């Protein structure tokens, strides 16, 4: 099996974006609608210790990218996953059929992250990340342009619309022959 090229029969979708843009909310609604498997990478990193410790300055775990990719490889090969993470440049390009970058108006995002308890540089770094479209750039540099889509995520209506359109996309997806 190793080395043989077998195409998956269900698609893999990456949902990325700055913290607070709605990745987890969108991914879990999409998983419910499509029966694809929601993989929350941040949760997985904490639960399975796929990190190199806590960085007090960044106030987050230092993710171990190799451990994360090893952990996910078999599932990704199988297909049918929604991967929810705030970064995207270290996953193998071949894993994904669609890369969704959620984007939120920065005043809306500021309120969401404040409500989540973000303050100081953690708050301002994330707002800056959103203003400079860091995740959209990262996605465009890491994946073929035609699989990357930026979707607005300011309101509940945006989530509903995004989930509907991604569900339609997933239903009509076929493996490349
Ligand atoms: P992420 O996983 O990207 O960090 P979450 O899905 O956890 O973001 O959402 C963060 C908070 O913002 C949650 O309280 C969620 O209900 C809210 N939220 C996210 N996206 C939207 C949206 N499009 N409209 C309204 N509220 C949203
Ligand atoms: Mn999340």
pLDDT at 4: 56
Evaluate whether residue 64 is within a structural domain: yes
Here the tokens at position 43 are 């949760």
**CA–CA distances in Å: residue 103 to residues 11, 14, 35, 65, 130:** 22, 14, 24, 24, 7
* Closest ligand by atom to 111 CA: 1
Q: Is residue 51 part of a domain?
A: yes
- What angle, 0 to 180 degrees and rounded to 10, lies between the N-to-C axes of helices 120-131 and 106-115? 150
Classify residue 65: in a domain, yes or no: yes
Query: Phi and psi for 11 in degrees, rounded to 5?
Result: -80, 160
Q: What is the pLDDT of residue 177?
A: 63
Inside any domain, residue 170: no
Whether residue 174 lies inside any domain: the answer is no
Domain range spanning residue 38? Answer: 13-157
| Closest ligand to Cα 104 | 1
Q: Please, what are the averages of pLDDT over each run of 10 residues along the chain (177 residues)?
A: 71 98 98 98 98 94 98 98 98 98 98 98 98 98 98 98 98 88
Shortest-distance atom of ligand 1 to CA 154? 23
Question: Domain count of the chain?
Answer: 1
CB 61 within 8 A of CB 51: yes
Note the pLDDT of residue 20: 98
CA distances for 166 relative to 23, 107, 114, 133, angstroms: 13, 26, 29, 21
Residue in 86, 112, 127, 156 to alter for ligand 1 test, most ligand atoms within 8 A of Cβ: 112
Ligand 1 atom with the smallest distance to the CA of 158 is: 23
Domain assignment present for 173:
no
Ligand 1 is surrounded, with C-beta below 6 A, by 17, 19-25, 112, 153-156, 158-159
Q: What is the ipTM of this complex?
A: 0.99
First-residue to last-residue Cα distance in the chain: 19
Residue 159 Cα: closest atom of ligand 1: 23
Does residue 96 sit within a domain? yes
CA distances from 126 to 11, 89, 99, 135, 161 (A): 30, 17, 20, 11, 25
Residue 40 within any structural domain of the chain: yes
The CATH number linked to 108 is 3.40.50.300
């Amino acid at each position: 099996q190793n080395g043989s090229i077998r195409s998956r029969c269900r698609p893999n979708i990456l949902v990325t974006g700055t913290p607070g843009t709605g990745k987890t909310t969108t991914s879990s609604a999409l998983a419910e609608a499509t029966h694809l498997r929601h993989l929350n990478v941040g949760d997985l990193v904490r639960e399975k210790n796929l990190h190199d410790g806590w960085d007090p300055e960044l106030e987050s775990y230092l993710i171990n990218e190799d451990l994360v990719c090893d952990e996910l490889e078999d599932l990704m090969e199988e297909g049918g996953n929604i991967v929810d993470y705030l970064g995207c440049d270290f996953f193998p390009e071949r894993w994904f059929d669609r890369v969704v970058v959620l984007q939120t108006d920065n005043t809306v995002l500021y309120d969401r992250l404040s409500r989540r308890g973000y303050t100081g540089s953690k708050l301002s770094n994330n707002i800056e990340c959103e203003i400079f479209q860091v995740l959209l750039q990262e996605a465009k540099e890491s994946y073929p342009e035609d699989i990357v889509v930026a979707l607005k995520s300011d309101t509940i209506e945006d989530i509903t619309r995004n989930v509907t359109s991604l569900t339609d996309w997933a239903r009509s997806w076929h493996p490349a022959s």
